[in-house]
Amino acid sequence: MKITLKDGSVKEYDGALSVLEIARDISEGLARNACAGELDGERVDLRTVVDRDCELNILTFEDKGGRDAFRHTTAHIMAQAIKRLYPSAKLSIGPSIDDGFYYDIEFDESFSEDNFPAIEAEMKKIVKEDLKIERFTMERKEAIKFFEDRNEPYKVELINDLPEDAELSFYKQGEFTDLCAGPHLMSTKPVKAFKLMKLAGAYWRGNSDNQMLTRIYGISFTKASELEEYITRLEEAKKRDHRKIGKEMKLFMFSDEGPGFPFFLPNGMILRNELMKYWREIHYRNGYVEIETPVMLNQRLWVTSGHWAHYQENMYTSMIDDEMFCIKPMNCPGSILVYKNEPRSYRELPLRFAEVGLVHRHEKSGALHGLMRVRAFHQDDAHEFIAMDQIEDEVAHIVRLIDEVYKKLEFDYHIELSTMPEDHMGSLEDWERATNGLKSAVEHLGLTYEINEGDGAFYGPKLDFHVQDCIGRTWQCGTIQLDFQLPQNFELSYTGPDGEEHMPVMIHRVVFGSVERFIGVLTENCAGKFPTWLSPVQVKVLPISDKFLDYSEKVARELKDNGIRAELDQRSEKIGYKIREARLERVPYMLILGQKEEEAGLVSVRSRFKGDEGQRSLKDFIADVCEEIRNRENRKEEVTDPQD
């Protein structure tokens, strides 16, 4: 048989071999690190026997599929430890997730994070026992009896809900057996670095009418050093939590009267407005015109667009004059109505409508998370109408715009191409044409991308831009979505050079995505230490004592007259206290004013970037800060704040 490997090379074997044996034939190092296999695109165990020509990828912890198998095995080890310590516990499901694994369990006794050390200790014993992990199958009746005898009702329910002809696979390690599709490691031995992280409540199958279970989250790695690094990153992330920083800097708030609906405070509005000022400048320069569409439109529009069929559970509605209206969850149908407002010619294309529209989406209360997941937010949309032969050039134009913005805000990013989901509109031919258009544009720019199978929008494929922050986390922000469906649904047209009517292609795209969410990501990336041009307060004027208030007021007034956002700290506090407070507020510049400064007409400058910068004339200081703001510079910090 012929085995085609990931790098395109081909291996030939006379007889059937397991995935692990093939890995060992390639190299002993690969065999030691292998976690699972990918056989013709399907993830399989290392124990799976290969007996035919196929494409095979050996997955290690560095691959998502290998990481999933490793962490899924850790979830089973945790469940086994729990059953040893709490025999009456009832297990439901325990998958791997992007950031670790979890298991949902019903306990007959009180359970808290205080129980974690005992469970971790038992998990270490299981790892040390080096239990062989074996896969086997059972007939349905036998499997149901197996779990009924062990008082595992959730497993019985899962089996009963599977199709009659479904193969029921199980994994056994020592005395522990679980219903599972796999794949898993060959034994418990490799799982040496793990930690239980937190508890949460989770309704069985996500239904609030069902039993509330205890969800235990955990993380695991192949090396202790990787776990330590992860814990360090988590601690850093806690310091950078935008909810904490937002409260300290008085950027935004939430109220019980409006869960998931953010309130922007004066400082937060300054930050948002400065960000949008930059957004508008760059869009004007790139040929966009800004529009605004209503926040509420008739339900018929959303039926035509397809949103009602695919998205209605996330939409808010209201009755007006006996007709149903929908509060918009997207801006695109409004842009379509603007396009249809007048006849269009090929000479207008590409026609680029930009809209910072307020949208509302019904999110479950448990999913709400600061600015990262809200029920009302501003989407920095653009909807573009182009001719078919403009696809590649226009997508490339948008990619360059997104690249410029992310570089200005100092974000690295990678691109994912999300393809057709199961729940989609339109023909396979349209989807293939749209997907190939996105691929071609990115490839001709010399950029790389990953394929994200089945995660496109219901109306078309998309390029997603995942920004990476300074501690390695990634956030999906920008997107470019190609759409042949809505122009067809709304019978859009333009007059071509041949005098005939043609249907345009529609592009949906965002740079920030949700402006609120992007502010949350930006806040955490810079830990609230925004560049001067974005800082709500750019300069804090700090008189050493009340004797120098008159001079301080004059300095503050001159700063404001030159467009610098300045605040005067008039409190009768010691200067050391005022400096510490300004540092906590993450102000870029402090001007410390006393007798020497007043007599010489100077200011003593202390910055977030260099610490003590010495005395300067106010005129020179203003000129430099104005230049920094005008150029939207990002000064680097050359000193470490002892309070960080």
Active-site residue, from 381, 430, 464, 469: 381
326 is catalytic: no
Furthest-apart CA pair in the chain: how many Å?
94
> DSSP string spanning 454-493?
T-SBTTB-EEEEEEE-TTS-EEEEEEEEEESHHHHHTT--
d(CA 95, CA 167): 19
Strand residues in 109-160 grouped as ranges (E):
133-138
Closest C-alpha to 298, from 320, 279, 270: 320
Active site residue 332: yes
CA 519 – CA 369 distance, rounded (Å): 13
What is the rounded CA–CA span in Å between residue 433 and residue 138? 45
The catalytic residue among 35, 180, 332, 477 is: 332
Asked if 111 contacts 230 with a C-beta cutoff of 8 angstroms, the reply is no
The question of whether 35 is a catalytic residue gets the answer: no
Environment class of residue 439 by beta-carbon count within 10 Å: exposed (0-12), middle (13-18) or buried (19+)? middle
360 is a catalytic site residue = no
Active-site position among 80, 299, 379, 485: 379
Which of 76, 242, 508, 606 is labelled catalytic? 508
- What's the Cα-to-Cα distance from 581 to each of 104, 540, 569, 576, rounded to whole Å? 44, 10, 10, 9
Q: DSSP class of residue 155?
A: H
CA distance 540 to 592: 9
DSSP string, 358-372: EEE----GGG-BTTT
Helix (H, G, I), strand (E, B) or coil at 397: helix
Is position 508 annotated as part of the catalytic site? yes
Which of 206, 221, 175, 356 is CA-nearest to residue 275? 356
Short-list 509, 510, 586, 574, CA closest to 542: 574
Which strand (E) or helix (H) includes residue 357? strand 351-360
The active-site residue, picked from 24, 462, 509, 606, is 462
The residue annotated as part of the active site, out of 24, 83, 307, 383, is 383
Closest to 124 measured CA to CA, from 37, 191, 173, 182 = 191
Q: Which residue has the tokens 């999300």?
A: 418
Catalytic residue among 361, 424, 540, 586: 361
Tell me if residue 595 is catalytic: no
- Residue 307: active-site member: no
Give catalytic residue positions.
Answer: 332, 361, 379, 381, 383, 462, 508
